[in-house]
Amino acid sequence: MVYHGQRRSLLQLFEDQPRLNVCAPMVRYSKGAFREVVRDYNVDIAYTPMILADVFKSSEFARQDYTTNDRDCPVVVQFAAHDPIDLAHAAQLVAPYADGIDLNCGCPQKWAYKERIGAYLSDRPEVVRDMVRTVKSAVSIPCSVKIRKHPTDVRQTVELVRRAQMMGVDWITIHGRTRHQKSTEPIDYDVIKLVKESVSVPVLANGSIFTLADAEAMYENTGVDGVMAARGLLQNPALFAGFEQTPLACVEKYVDRALAYGTPTFIFHHHVMYMMESIMSPVERKTFNCLSSTPAILDHLSRYYGIGHSE
């Protein structure tokens, strides 16, 4: 972790800018190099991947996985937790190097549910209340929660966000699908709108944002304060700058920054594949998928697209 010096106020950003573009927390993918690239293309706020609070507060090795610098601002560190003390300790450790803390209350993975984190908390608003209260008393930076639509009872969704607001949460992000729904199923605009109307803090909406038109539809149907993209930004980091597909200059920026950060080959390969999937032919995609080393990937990009990298 690297100290930034003066940080940008997230709360002031919410006041100053009525529509915010946000990079979602993505396991393995929303790390430093990628966060820096999307900021060059109109992303206002970027989240880290989900971090397990109990591991982070106990392990120096785990803490080394979070890196940041002066170009990575504002950044929100997302934690998964079920114990308020674990969350507060993790938040205190990271607070000098972050602009906000987010509590994951929406991860749909089965392993997360068994660990009593993520979407497990959607039925336990009192636990979310206690964790928000504890974090707010432990650190001075803003705190948010990220939730999903409740699988059976929308009233539970409303109760969850109202209790979080009572404890001082600074903003809320809602994904408009339940934890059981596939990513191909439609987003529920109505539940997102209901959350927006049920609280007075800013609300961000997550789910199926792949183009500026998708973002505009979300605003028009829900009245939220910002939109958060995940898969859309993986496929096109320049999404919020109005590009219909990833420009090669964006790929080159990612290559430079990923190499500078020492990004593992499998993550580097996946990012480039996501970005260039719409550009490559089916035959080329098969060839590219077989590349197993960073030099091989760099050679392919240089040979076929003229993409090099800074030394």
For residue 310, the model assigns a pLDDT of 52
Q: Is the pLDDT of residue 311 over 70?
A: no
Q: Rounded to whole angstroms, how far apart are CA atoms 99 and 120?
A: 26
Q: Is the pLDDT of residue 62 over 80?
A: yes
For residue 1, the model assigns a pLDDT of 59
Q: Is the pLDDT of residue 29 over 90?
A: yes
For residue 95, the model assigns a pLDDT of 95
Q: Is the pLDDT of residue 5 over 70?
A: no
What mean pLDDT is predicted for residues 50-72? 93
Q: Rounded to whole angstroms, how far apart are CA atoms 252 and 217?
A: 31
Write out the binding residues for FMN.
25-27, 78, 146, 175, 230-231
CB atoms within 10 A of CB 256: 18
What mean pLDDT is predicted for residues 219-247? 97
Q: Which of 1-10, 71-80, 103-112, 132-141 has the lowest mean pLDDT?
A: 1-10
For residue 6, the model assigns a pLDDT of 55
DSSP H or E run through 103: strand 100-105
The model's pTM is 0.94
The SS3 call for residue 263 is: coil
What mean pLDDT is predicted for residues 222-246? 97
Q: Rounded to whole angstroms, how far apart are CA atoms 302 and 114?
A: 45
For residue 205, the model assigns a pLDDT of 97
**Half-sphere exposure of residue 279, counting CA atoms within 13 Å on the CB side?**
17
Q: Is the pLDDT of residue 309 over 80?
A: no
Query: Catalytic site residues?
Result: 107
State pLDDT tens for residues 298-307.
Answer: 999 999 999 9
Q: Is the pLDDT of residue 261 over 80?
A: yes
Beta strand segments in 142-258, E: 143-148, 171-175, 203-206, 226-229
Asked if residues 236 and 251 have their Cβ atoms less than 8 Å apart, the reply is no
For residue 242, the model assigns a pLDDT of 95
For residue 308, the model assigns a pLDDT of 76
What mean pLDDT is predicted for residues 216-229? 97
Q: Does 3 or 167 have the greater pLDDT score?
A: 167
For residue 9, the model assigns a pLDDT of 84
